[in-house]
Amino acid sequence: MRKMTKALTGMSSALLLSTAIPGMAKADELTLCWAAWDPANALVELSKDFTAATGTTMKFEFVPWPNFADRILNELNSGGKLCDLLIGDSQWIGGSAENGYYVKLNDFFDKEGIKMSDFAEAAVNAYSTWPKGTPNYWALPAMGDANGWFYRKDWFAKPELQAEFKQKYGRDLGPPQTWDELKQVAEFFTGREIDGQKVYGAAIFTERASEGITMGATSALYPYGFKYQQTAGKYDMDGAVNSPDAVAGLEAYKALYKCCQPPGYTDSYMGEGLDAFKSGQVAMAMNWFAFFPGLYKDEKVGGDKIGFFVNPKQKVAASTLGGQGMSVVANTDNRDGALAYIKWFAQPEVQKKWWALGGYAVHNAVLNDPSFKASQPFAADFLVAMNQVQDFWQEPSYAILLQAMQKRLHDYVVADQGTAQEALDALVNDWKEIFEDEGKL
């Protein structure tokens, strides 16, 4: 009887332990952490093949975007074991590499014959390398992305609007090619009544808390000629960050916000922008290419009703970089399993299926396929965008650099405080102080 009691106690303790420590991974189980959005659902689908091939159960921890950085960086900082694999934002790579949060993958790539030259160069540079431009790889390019635009093709095609626009601007009403044209088109639609509803020109990013307004405003700043430094690696920001071109870009973004954003969109990011478009409030909206497959499939505004265009140029052609690389978390208890997943994911056939399911593969086998451009209505624009992307600082101190920019931009664009020149001058001072603290200035 006593033996039986002991055995039962032992079994119940084991059961209790197994349920009480959810973070403890089994050897044949992997947890992949990422943001909760459309491509994550595609990855769940794709990963079923990995489970079928290896018998490894895949678990997923998807965090909504506004909390993604907070949640995952806290996890990494605290040495947690929640994630074996992490599809982390491109800006995290500097800090994660220097703090030892990610496993360096060079030896593994060499051993398994995974070549970075098989992936788009811009993606490798953005998602995998630290220090930038060096062959030190901390992630496999997993999800290419950039900020792009979509518009109501059915509204643009209305003959009466076409005629009115041509009379007013002397050209056809179509996807804008420059930021000047973008504002004209947005103004043209703002305040009109279409399908019985008052509509607005464009839904743009204005979110304050995480990264929203920075990602939105840089989509104007980069084409106008904004640069982070005059000379790469010198941190000489004066005259680059606050150059006349940068000021013009920021003014253009604010002008678009003032003229054409729907009321109430003072703190809006991806979700709010999608809502504005899907509810028929706006003629155009900016958002990440990652959402385009879902939008195209949308019953109400997708299909023939939607069109896509790459971020308009102004002085130069440029798009704000999104997207992420897939890294192995250094703290994982299942490094071999995590590396096996990366090896599987890097295969050309898997990458092709990844694209087919709605993930943005950046493997050359996918991008260079002759049928790629015609495979989706936004595929050609994606290629253009990925060849002109620019990214925010990827420094270890990126978080504080980002917060400074969020504050200065929101103060100027949304809260109407000061001028664009003052906002960017203040930003230069903030960033100088940060880099001085870092010992880089």
Instruction: Name which position in 80, 264, 297, 440 contacts other proteins (CB under 8 A).
Output: 264
Place of tokens 């044209």: 181
Kind of pairing between the strands at 29-35 and 85-89: parallel
Closer Cβ to other proteins, 87 or 409, answer by number: 409
Cα(176)–Cα(184) distance, integer angstroms: 9
Cα(271)–Cα(7) distance, integer angstroms: 52
Instruction: Name which position in 346, 410, 427, 428 contacts other proteins (CB under 8 A).
Output: 410
Please report whether residue 421 would count as binding other proteins according to CB under 8 A: no
Instruction: Name which position in 414, 420, 424, 428 contacts other proteins (CB under 8 A).
Output: 414
3-state secondary structure string across the chain: CHHHHHHHHHHHHHHHHHHHCCCCCCCCEEEEEEECCHHHHHHHHHHHHHHHHHCCEEEEEEECHHHHHHHHHHHHHCCCCCCCEEEEEHHHHHHHHHCCCECCCHHHHHHHCCCHHHECHHHHHHHCECCCCCCCECCEEEECCEEEEEEEHHHHCCHHHHHHHHHHHCCCCCCCCEHHHHHHHHHHHCCCEECCEECEEEECCCCCCCCHHHHHHHHHHHHHCCCCCCCCCCCCCCCCCCCHHHHHHHHHHHHHHHHHCCCCCCCCCHHHHHHHHHCCCEEEEEEEHHHHHHHHHCCCCCHHHEEEECCCECCCCCEEECCEEEEEECCCCCHHHHHHHHHHHCCHHHHHHHHHHCCCCCEHHHHCCCCHHHHCCCHHHHHHHHCCEECCCCCCCHHHHHHHHHHHHHHHHCCCCCCHHHHHHHHHHHHHHHHHHCCCC
Site for other proteins, residues 99 to 118, rule: CB under 8 A: 99-100
Instruction: Name which position in 415, 419, 436, 440 contacts other proteins (CB under 8 A).
Output: 415
Query: How near is the Cβ of 419 to other proteins at its closest, in Å?
Result: 14
Please report whether residue 368 would count as binding other proteins according to CB under 8 A: no
Farthest-apart Cα atoms in the chain, separation: 95
Please report whether residue 273 would count as binding other proteins according to CB under 8 A: no
Residues 6+ apart with CB under 8 A from 183: 252, 255, 256, 259, 260
Instruction: Name which position in 9, 13, 18, 417 contacts other proteins (CB under 8 A).
Output: 417
Closer Cβ to other proteins, 193 or 416, answer by number: 416
Please report whether residue 35 would count as binding other proteins according to CB under 8 A: no
Please report whether residue 411 would count as binding other proteins according to CB under 8 A: yes
Closer Cβ to other proteins, 173 or 186, answer by number: 186
Query: How near is the Cβ of 265 to other proteins at its closest, in Å?
Result: 8
Cα(196)–Cα(198) distance, integer angstroms: 7
Query: How near is the Cβ of 22 to other proteins at its closest, in Å?
Result: 23
Mask for 49-78, x = binds other proteins (CB under 8 A): --------------------xx--xx-xx-
Closer Cβ to other proteins, 207 or 391, answer by number: 207
Site for other proteins, residues 174 to 233, rule: CB under 8 A: 207-209
Please report whether residue 419 would count as binding other proteins according to CB under 8 A: no
Site for other proteins, residues 127 to 166, rule: CB under 8 A: none
Using the contact rule CB under 8 A, the part of the chain among 92-100, 114-122, 310-318, 336-344 near other proteins is: 92-100
Query: How near is the Cβ of 439 to other proteins at its closest, in Å?
Result: 11
Closer Cβ to other proteins, 47 or 331, answer by number: 331
Using the contact rule CB under 8 A, the part of the chain among 154-162, 262-270, 294-302, 372-380 near other proteins is: 262-270
Instruction: Name which position in 112, 154, 187, 267 contacts other proteins (CB under 8 A).
Output: 267
Closer Cβ to other proteins, 327 or 388, answer by number: 327
Closer Cβ to other proteins, 164 or 267, answer by number: 267
Closer Cβ to other proteins, 185 or 199, answer by number: 199
Using the contact rule CB under 8 A, the part of the chain among 243-251, 364-372, 379-387, 403-411 near other proteins is: 403-411
Positions that interact with other proteins (CB under 8 A): 69-70, 73-74, 76-77, 79, 95, 98-100, 207-209, 262-267, 396, 399-400, 403, 407, 410-412, 414-417
